Amino acid sequence: MVSYSAPLRDMRFILEELADLPGVAQLPGCEDATPELVGAILEQAQRFAAGVLAPLNAAGDRQGCRLEDGRVVTPDGWVDAYRRFRQAGWIGLSLPKEFGGQALPKLVSTAVWEMWFSANSAFAMAPLLNVSESLALLLAASPELQATYLHKLVSGEWAGAMNLTEPQAGSDLAAIRTRAQAHADGSYRLFGQKSFISYGEHDLTDNIIHLVLARLPDAPSGVKGISLFVVPKRLVSAAGTLGAQNDVHCIAIEHKLGIHASPTCTMSYGDRGGAIGFLVGELNRGLEYMFIMMNDARFGVGVQGIALGEIAYQHALAYAQQRIQGRDALSGRNGVPIICHPDVKRMLLGMRARIMAPRMLAYAAAGWFDRMHNDRDGAAADKCRRYVDLLMPVVKGWSTELGNEVTDIAIQVHGGMGYIEETGVAQFRRDARIITIYEGTTGIQANDLISRKILREGGQTLRLLLADLRATASALRASGFGASMGEALAADIDCLEQTLDWILANGREHLADVLAGAVPFLHLLGTVCGSWQMGRAALAARSKLDAGADAYYQGIIDLARFWYAHHGVHASALGRTVRHGGAVLTNFDPDALSPAGA
């Protein structure tokens, strides 16, 4: 079994050359992110990921979780690993110092979280919930609630859990039915059932602080009547000590295709008189708070896609280097490692390209997050906020779709051995299969992209982005070595703009046709952004080579060429599908989908 080794060289190249870590580190509040500190953090994280988390991954998958008398028991070693994780301070890496965090840029924590997700995705979901929940409380909770909960969430002494979905309310949170009743003391009593709650119950911490979406009896219907509550598993006294068990219970855990070690719980609230909860922010604004947080949560899942691709790639590469099979088609030499076969090499390079392109985009986006929060230049901050808003559905939707593909190819590289569970690579495929679904399916991302991020503002931000893309295309065209990439990128940008124009022209009269192309458009935008970032990478690498740097940078240029020839090349077809495929779909009689019954 291959262990995990963080792709530090790639990470550093992207952080420094593409995502402007040096610039981010000069922003107010980000000054701690010196090259020395960032280097030390990445090294430490790599050691923790490889030494503590990765060794538990396969065993956690095999053992899974079990529910015993309402208590969830995590796999062997989980409790200890979690204790070490929180004691090392990893949870607060990019959370405010005020609550015990280290306030490092998101750009830095992004690389670190990628490591956790590569090493052990099922585990990493637990502390990620602490981060998400901390961000929600920072955003909207009263000082009292913050004082009671935030330090312990940031330190990891207590765990977090997000209780959004219900059996009838999955993608559509407007359909939530969980009730909250006001209580005389200002608190609330909650009643209802929540499903698919990751780490809704477990044995890693003494307390679990649930964030729960619920509805007051007199609340408006739909999305505008949903409020957000803190519901601790165990009640907390004014002094901060743990009290009685709240009326919150795990009544079932799911038997899933993957992430077996991450308990997916059905939570019951109020079976025994009502679960005591505390309102976060204002009434009926719960979904709004969730949507503000959504960019962050979706970003995290996008990184998970990259991370699962990376670990699957490492396994496939190691296997291809040592598995002896077949004859070299060129030399005729027998008994060569399979990496010598052109198609195996193609699969590996295809994996690496589909990891690096979304990684470049995600890290660049992390830098935009930092700038939007910290850049004193209002125009710069605003542009970054707009880019984050526009591209978060792409970072989530496109990176996870590619992550799935990469984990799937990893099985293919292994041949029959990939199908054997003990080989280990199938787990990454199974674990990855949820990432295009949770935190909003790819379809939901694509609809968000088309409707909220493009149509609502008439495509303004995407036009801004197109100008940045064109600058890269021009630089490539002028570069000599990259001229053909520059030509291809320029053509793809034209295709993207033409498709944007079509969307804007048809968004009102032919919305069904436009939405029918939402996912192909998401792939188009992702692909062109991938070509953009690969082009930027090639330009940066060329500069490094010209300055005498090592062969790593030639590998980046060659990777970019591969990306253009094998992946970027599909952009124009995607554009045509968006522009011409929608009406076909709209006009298709749904009855013709099931002719078997005819």
Q: Does 138 bind a second copy (CB under 8 A)?
A: no
312-341 positions binding a second copy, by CB under 8 A? 314, 317, 324-327, 329-330, 334-335, 339, 341
CB of 354 to a second copy, least distance (A): 13
Q: Which of 114, 133, 201, 439 is catalytic?
A: 439
AA identity, residue 532 = W
Question: For 440, which DSSP code?
Answer: S
* Closest separation in Å from C-beta 318 to a second copy: 9
Sites for a second copy among residues 355-384 (CB under 8 A):
none
Nearer to a second copy, 48 or 278 (CB): 48
Q: In the 8-state DSSP scheme, what is residue 549?
A: -
Residue span binding a second copy (CB under 8 A) among the ranges 121-129, 210-218, 443-451, 465-473:
443-451
User: Is the CB of 68 or the CB of 422 nearer to a second copy?
Assistant: 422
User: Which of these segments, 20-28, 143-151, 455-463, 584-592, binds a second copy (CB under 8 A)?
Assistant: 584-592
Question: Closest distance between a second copy and the C-beta of residue 248, in Å?
Answer: 21
Q: How far is the CB of 91 from a second copy (least distance, A)?
A: 26
Smaller CB distance to a second copy: residue 248 or 356? 356
Which is closer to a second copy, CB of 291 or CB of 552? 552
**Do the Cβ atoms of 351 and 309 come closer than 8 Å?**
yes
- The smaller minimum CB distance to a second copy, of residues 172 and 206, is found at 172
Q: How far is the CB of 499 from a second copy (least distance, A)?
A: 13
- CA 536: distance to chain centroid? 23
Q: How many whole angstroms separate alpha carbon 114 and alpha carbon 111?
A: 5
Binding of residue 43 to a second copy (CB under 8 A): no
Among 152, 179, 429, 453, binds a second copy (CB under 8 A): 429
Q: Which stretch binds a second copy (CB under 8 A): 63-71, 106-114, 272-280, 442-450?
A: 442-450
Q: Does 218 bind a second copy (CB under 8 A)?
A: no
Widest CA span in the chain? 84
Residue 55's Cβ-count burial label (10 Å; 0-12, 13-18, 19+) is: middle
Non-local (6+) Cβ contacts of 350 within 8 A are 409, 562, 566, 567
Answer yes or no whether residue 494 interacts with a second copy by CB under 8 A. no
CA distances (Å), origin 442, targets 219, 456, 592: 30, 20, 25
Site for a second copy in 502-561 (CB under 8 A): 511-512, 515-516, 518-520, 550-552, 554-555, 558-559, 561
Q: Does 452 bind a second copy (CB under 8 A)?
A: no
Three-class SS state of 5: coil
Min dist CB 153 to a second copy, Å, is 25
Q: For residues 441 and 498, which CB has a smaller minimum distance to a second copy in the complex?
A: 441
3 state DSSP class of 141: coil
Hey, is 215 helix, strand or coil?
strand
If the CB atoms of residues 195 and 207 are measured against a second copy, the closer one turns out to be 195
- How far is the C-alpha of 120 from the C-alpha of 308, rounded, in Å? 9
Distance CA 408, CA 591 (A): 33
Q: Does 420 bind a second copy (CB under 8 A)?
A: yes
Instruction: For residue 98, indicate whether it is catalytic.
Output: no
Cα 65 from Cα 312, distance rounded (Å): 23
The stretch among 24-32, 95-103, 291-299, 433-441 that binds a second copy (CB under 8 A) is: 433-441
Burial of 256 (0-12, 13-18, 19+ CB in 10 A): middle
Does position 10 bind a second copy by CB under 8 A? yes
Alpha-carbon distance 597 to 112, whole Å? 53
Q: In the range 172-201, which residues lie near a second copy by CB under 8 A?
A: 172, 174-175, 196
Number of residues binding to a second copy, judged by CB under 8 A = 109
Q: Which stretch binds a second copy (CB under 8 A): 81-89, 179-187, 381-389, 585-593?
A: 585-593
Using the Cα atoms of residue 301, residue 306, residue 308 and residue 311 in order, give the sign of their dihedral: negative
Q: Cα–Cα distance between 229 and 578 in angstroms, integer?
A: 41
Binding mask 258-297 for a second copy (x = CB under 8 A): x---------------------------------------
420/478 with CB nearer a second copy: 420
Name residues whose C-beta falls within 8 Å of residue 258's C-beta, 6 or more positions apart in sequence.
61, 427, 429, 430, 431, 432, 433, 434
570 binds a second copy (CB under 8 A): yes
Task: Give whole-number Cα distances, 232 to 65, 244, 428, 575, in Å.
Answer: 22, 10, 33, 48
Q: Is 165 in the site for a second copy (CB under 8 A)?
A: yes
Q: Is 252 in the site for a second copy (CB under 8 A)?
A: no
> SS3 of 481, please?
coil
* Nearer of residues 91 and 312 to a second copy, judged by Cβ: 312
- What single-letter amino acid sits at 98? E
Residue of 84, 285, 430, 477 that binds a second copy (CB under 8 A): 430
Task: Give me the least distance between CB of 501 and a second copy, in Å please.
Answer: 19
Query: What is the separation of C-alpha 295 from the centre of its chain, rounded to a whole number of angstroms?
Result: 10
169 DSSP assignment? B
Which positions are catalytic?
439
